[in-house]
Amino acid sequence: MRILGIDPGLRHLGWGVIDVEGSRLRHVANGTCDSDGAAELSLRLLSLHGQLTRVFETWRPDQAAIEKTFVNKDAVGTLKLGQARGVALLVPAQFGLSVGEYAPNQVKKTVVGVGHADKAQIQHMVKMQLPGAVLTGPDAADALAIAICHAHQSGMQRMKVRA
């Protein structure tokens, strides 16, 4: 099974692809889709859509996962993040995939063991769980963490179904 994790962002949208065979995880690829902060919002969203579509065309995932949006003090920033998240939900749907959604604390708890881990801890644990992975940046590392979380959560669901 191939999982594509997405860390939504308007400036930098991280993505990471892993393969899952039983309980084994293998890194496939990771990167970011970047938009020009000086461009109109609509053009930035269109750019992210095109870039993420190419990622899906290239890596052909079986499943997708995304981080849920958290609301922060900056309402305008939260709204823009939500619009980028909309693009990140749209692309997998265009490929016929449902999307697993995970709260940031759930991703951190699954990958690091604590729900309030920092970026450095996440990157370290992603490298530990995906030996040989070369991370292209913190947004890509977060996306791989989301994919790892989805692999563990969907594995738990499969075990419940069998019981």
The active-site residue, picked from 40, 101, 118, 139, is: 139
The active-site residue, picked from 67, 74, 101, 118, is: 67
DSSP letters spanning 81-131? HHHHHHHHHHHHHHTT--EEEE-HHHHHHHHTSSTT--HHHHHHHHHHHST
Fold of 2-162: Nucleotidyltransferase; domain 5 (3.30.420)
Tell me: the pLDDT tens digits for 90-115?
999 999 999 999 999 999 999 999 99
139 in a labelled binding site? yes
19 in a labelled binding site? no
Query: What pTM did the predictor assign?
Result: 0.93
Tell me: the pLDDT tens digits for 115-159?
999 999 999 999 999 999 999 999 999 999 999 999 999 875 554
Question: Using CA atoms, how far apart are residues 140 and 146, in angstroms rounded to an integer?
Answer: 10
Q: Which residue has the higher pLDDT, 63 or 75?
A: 63
Question: Using CA atoms, how far apart are residues 137 and 140, in angstroms rounded to an integer?
Answer: 5
User: Could you tell me which residues are beta bridge partners of residue 18?
Assistant: 3, 27
Q: So what's the pLDDT on residue 66?
A: 98
Domain boundaries, the chain: 2-162
7 is catalytic: yes
* For range 55-64, the mean pLDDT: 98
139 is catalytic: yes
40 in a labelled binding site? no
